[in-house]
Structure 1
């Protein structure tokens, strides 16, 4: 039900599952395994997989921390969007990539829940995309030292509010990895 014209397709968007981001991530191995399952499901049906990769002072481009985790191998034909801000749309070619593939629905997984995941979810829905968060395929690190809730609570709260989020002409929501299906792409 996207508000974008001629955008009938769905894509899996994997955000920032990089060595440096995932080093201290909550429930890291389970989340990565769920994302790997999603990637396999998408590839099997011909659904586009888009990789988002963050760079910053602690994630310098081409460094080991900047690289995607080895458990998630990228295929050369799968687009990689390079970003420097939380919202994967800001100052990137994500919108152009999605438009080129006629994508109007995003299935979102990755890290960090309280930063790049939330920013991208809101960025997508305000730009007209239907947006589904995979509730057991995103994570964050423990930021309680800075006053944040524990990671499990950050994840649960994000799932709660995105499950009930809405906007005119667009859908939001959550699904678990096992519930996500991709329709075969012609």
Structure 2
């Protein structure tokens, strides 16, 4: 139901599951296992898997912290988008890559829930994409005393995206086991 014309396909986004990003993340191993499951299922169904990798002054390109976690393996034929901003669309070729594949629906996984996941979801939704957040395949760190815990941030984000809609497009939150890569 995307507002983007001639974009019936779905892609899986794997955002910033990098050593330095998820080192202290809530349920790190469980989230990575769920992402691995989704990557395997997407590949089996010939759904594009798009890997997004962040770098900035705190996450230096080519450092060990910048690399994707060793439990996840990107295939050479799968797209890799390098970004410097929270929204994976900002100053990247992500939109062109998705257009090339006729993608109008994004299934979103990765880190950090309260930063790059939220920014990319909003960026996609306002650009006309249907978006599905995989509720048990994104994570973040505890931000500190007096702030919501990582579990609370994740739960709130899942709730927020479960109810979003706009003319001609919608968002949803589903668990890994219920993900389908059909166009919405």
TM-score using structure 1 length: 0.96
Is the CA contact (8 Å cut-off) linking 1:105 and 1:130 kept in structure 2? Answer: yes
Equivalence map 1:12-161=2 (5 Å): 12-145=12-145, 147-161=146-160
Gaps of 5+ in 2: none
Q: Distance in 1 between matches of 2:180 and 2:102?
A: 18
Q: CA deviation at 1:144?
A: 2.2
**Conserved 8 A contact 1:26-1:139:** yes
Q: SS of the residue aligned with 1:13?
A: strand
Q: Partner residue of 2:9?
A: 9
Output the CA distance in 1 between the equivalents of 2:46 and 2:24.
32
Secondary structure class of the residue paired with 2:141: coil
In 2: Cα distance, 1:93 partner to 1:18 partner: 20
TM-score, scaled to structure 2: 0.97
The CA deviation string for residues 10-30 of structure 1, in whole angstroms up to 9 with x for no partner, is 000000000000111011000
Question: How far does the alpha carbon of each residue in 1:16-71 deviate from its partner, in whole angstroms, 9 at most, with x for none?
Answer: 00000011101100000000000000000000000000001121111110000010
Separation in 2, partners of 1:48, 1:62? 25
Residue of structure 1 equivalent to 2:169: 170
Q: Is the 8 A contact 1:41 1:181 kept in 2?
A: no
Q: CA deviation at 1:81?
A: 0.5
- For residues 113-146 of structure 1, the C-alpha deviation after alignment (integer angstroms, 9 at most, x for no partner) is 000000000000000000000000000011024x
| Pairwise CA RMSD | 0.8
Tell me the equivalent position of 2:180. Answer: 181
